[in-house]
Amino acid sequence: INACYYAVITLNVSIFFMLRAGGETRSTLIIDSGFIWLFVIPVAIALSQTLRPPMVLFYLMLQSTELLKFLLGSWFFRRGRWIRNLT
């Protein structure tokens, strides 16, 4: 499952590091921590309580949230507000 999502996870990490290097730490906090606490964990709780899927399918469903995280990260990246002169 991780091998299937490896490209998306790598792109997410690259976007986050570029945003941080440009000086935009707030958006990376929103994308990384906020997304996990406000979306992934509630989805995991809802899936575990309602559908009760097998563990492999459960993990696949949770890893698929990386695609949404990628879309959110690329939106922050394309806005261009993260580019700041830090010197």
Share of the chain above pLDDT 90, in %: 75
Q: Supply the Cα-derived Rg of the chain in whole angstroms.
A: 15
* pLDDT tens profile 24-64: 888 888 888 999 999 999 999 999 999 999 999 999 999 99
**What is the reported pTM?**
0.84
Residue identified by tokens 């990490």 is: 13
- What's the Cα-to-Cα distance from 26 to each of 19, 76, 82, rounded to whole Å? 9, 11, 10
Question: Mean pLDDT over all residues of the chain?
Answer: 92
**What would the two tokens of residue 46 be?**
């809802």
Share of the chain above pLDDT 70, in %: 99
